[in-house]
Structure 1
Amino acid sequence: MINYIIQVILFQVLFVAVYDFFLSKETFFNKNRWYLLSTALLSFVLPLFKISTVKKAVPQEYYTLLPEVMLSPQKVIEETIWYQSINYLDVLFWGGCTLFLIVFLIKLERIVRLVLQYGTILKGNYKLVLLPKETKAFSFFNYIFLGKEIPSSKQEKIIQHELVHSEQKHTLDLLFFEFLKIVMWFNPMVYVYQNRISLVHEYISDAIASKSDKKENYINHLLADIFQVEHISFINQFYKHSLIKKRIIMMTKTQSKKVKQLKYLLLIPLLGSMILYTACSSEEVKIDKVEKQPVTVYKSEDGKIVKKPSTGYQSKYLDLYLGDELPNTKEYSIYELTEEEKGEYLALLNGFNKEGKPQLNIRVFKAENGRKMVAFDYLGKNENQGKTNYQDSEEVPFAMMDKVPTFPGCAEGDKYCFHKSMSRFVQENFDMSITKNLGLSEGKKRIYVQFKISKQGKVIDVKARAPHPTLKQHAEEIMQKLPQMQPGEKDGKIVSTGYVIPITLNVD
């Protein structure tokens, strides 16, 4: 979710930058209005837009699978202090949403109160609300609020101006950004957007209302008096002192030439780059379901992978590769395996990589007929290891590192202590009580958490897959709390490395 919010804000910054530098000075007011509305909406949609062909073209990162962490309801720590289980970011977010919703409702109540208190006068296609002892002038949908103290000679011009707001439904635009402010109150770009579109509304109304009279006379009306302003952000106000100078400049500006509308074509490369960015940053992979089949054993002959005659193997989800060199077919990441394949892979990994045994890197490659096969890469003994694409990369698999990251309290480069410390951290911090009200069926449930330890030793890029959104969020929050570690090394250089830690829950 944090990545999504960051992308939304980034896209809005880019859209507004294009508007400010290339479009805001042009007199295509209605087009600018729709530009601001559409790009504000697009910024929320684009991060969800994915192109599968682009995602396939992006090389996948290698993540090492850590030993499985087993949890059960009996593991719940009874003495956990209540305030340690509170997600303060959630409290801050929902507290802000609640506050801005209350502010919005107060503004709405003030408008409703004015209508009920002073009544309305039906004037054709609008309703006039006269405010005694006031010089305010603003509109809200087809309601025009007019202070009785405004000279009668100026009332008609103000009404004409506000009628444009009413007829073009400008209030809907402002309400749209008010709702955005409720759910994204922390996003400064929402306020920037609302400011920009309020100014465009005034340009549109000025352009239409000034046609019935000389522009000089209309401008004189703007400058003649300084009226009071009702400070409600989702109403169209005739007098906003900070905007008067800009409105006058735009009214006296020469009409923009039609050829300058080509500037809107800047959206095409901008949208293209945004879609490419979001397509490349996706972590979700669609996985086809597989069934158990008798294991096929493969080997390598003259650089080709061939089937090896074998008997007596039971049915499995994964086939087996026993060649002297690693296969040259597609290699799969942990996220491209089905739950059944992951379980089988996990059992192999935990079975071979125990304390006191040689470290073994088990990798999964493409076999025939859509199946996958496991290959055993004995570290330091495989001639093909030196040919991997990790040699020149800043991200190196855990098992291929000269010195692995060091968990606080462990001896430098101690893999066994690293595994144990990671498992203990998850067991101590995972709150099993949250599984009680999620409607999960009984039995084992698996969560896979992917993360990296950067060259600075910090835990970054935390992502999880889980059978329920609450479990996914909780698992990600736990891994984000991991302490800073001493980063790993490869060939004398400090490098980052990625991990996937499987968490198995026994749900009663």
Structure 2
Amino acid sequence: MIDFIIKSSINLLALLLFYHLILEKEKMHQFNRFYLLFSIIFSFIVPFITIEVIDKSAETLVQTNTVMTGEATMVIMPETVNYTVIIIWSIYGLVTLLLLFRFMRNILKINSKIKSNTIIDYKNAKLVLLEEKTLPHTFWNSIFINETDYRNRKIEAELYTHELIHVNQKHTLDVLFIEILKMLFWFNPIFIFYKKAIQLNHEFLADEKVITIYDNIPFYQNLLLVHVNTNPAFDITSNLNYSITKKRFTMMTKSFSRTRAVLYKIALLPLFSGLIYFMCVQSVAQKNSLSSAKSTAKNNESITQTDNSKDKRRDAYYAGVRIIVQNKRNNSSIDKMYEELTLEEKKTYLNYVPEPSTKKQPSNKEYNDFKNSKKYAIWIDNKHVSNAALDNYSAADFAYYSGSIVGKNARTAKFPQPFQFALYTPKYFDENLKNSHLKYGGDTIKITISENKGNLKKSPVYKTDSIRKLDEMVHSLAEVEKEPEFPGGIEKFYQFVGENFKLPKTADDAKLKGKIYTTFVIEKDGSLSDIKVTLDIGYGTWKETLRVLKLCPNWNPGEIYDKPVRTLYSLPITIQSAD
């Protein structure tokens, strides 16, 4: 066993050094992928190969030997138990079982995440829409993306293509293979470096394909750099970090030399031949001692995020919201952004964090009772309807419902009923309610704490402005009933941009092309405000984009309940320099 470990480690190290010094720097990624995999297999096979070479000098030596006779003796040694070997194998087995348990647990978590989230067919892959904020990453034929970014079209086509390459070329097989080896040979750190080399090679392969399809290296590099800067803490399989991204940038701009590629492939012949000769033909004198192996570091590629504590959910839900508190009990007030609140203030004033809405249908008996117009006021997908409209549906047509009692002082001539119920179709539930617990729907919360004249130990009474006026909110496209529209349609908008956008002279010289990603708020009167450029293609294009959007004619605003509302809109603008 020791001999196998030593010989295989020497082969692994020699082949890995050749890869890092020579092959990794060349644009021959498909060949490099199979080189790395073959290097591992080759290193495991070589220790079991023995090539016998007849040495004539050894034969002569045998022929000249003389046989000496003498008294034969036999020494009987007492049977002993080698506890050292038992301890070593016990430690190895225990650590391996723990790593196997962790490996299987991660596989089960990934499988559970796939089954518990929305899945959308995308070409020959499946998009798994996650609630948590995450960069796109891939396992097998599943591409994990953030659902909000997907719904709001914030994931660039280049990222989809990048992850699709991982699926099509079955890169997960390589990762699983090296992960199993890391688990079995956890005491050998060489496999950690092999895994890093394999994963970087996967990124080279995906980058090469994206560049071939879109032919825009500066834009793609800028896109990657934005994600590195904005998401440095992501701990996923396709995690981006500065050192790896720098290598990828360098590789993108390299040219392929067929001559060098052929020469390096030829150079492999003496390398492999030398290793076979050194390991299989010649006997290598090596001391039977090895430094005690160090256990591998914890797996830095945790695909799932398990910290769903209330504090974490609260921070995500109220992020970016302005909090205004009037506390009449102690004559104090607060006017801060949520992130500026202390933990105690967060728990005191914003202890409520909504739980996910689970689907529930009314029973047939309840549904038939809802048709009583004297008893119930009915809303379907947040639109008031007559009770007779329920005849056009059945209980099975709704994914969720909720209701409440209406006090006598709250009833009106239009809604005199003592009960009100809201029913939601599956489509509306998926688009508006399913993920409503992830992010608060507005930008301001007003809280008033009235004086409590009873027992001072009793909790204060809260009046939270959780349902704020429509004109104070900025809605997403998923929240509005009628989406905002540029007069004449989106094509007219792009025509307006094309007629007014002026490329800087330096950009003309560079034959600039790519996409500029923008966000802006369409006000109730259709004007644009809060204009931002989230990603540009350099040469001052962000300034020109802001200038053009400020000149933009008014849009037809979004609407809720037939009333215009403020709507957040995101839009890519494609730039192509004239040839």
TM-score after normalising by structure 1:
0.49
Normalized against structure 2, the TM-score is what?
A: 0.44
Structure having greater relative contact order (Cα 8 Å, sep ≥ 6): 1
Tell which structure's C-alpha radius of gyration is larger. Answer: 2
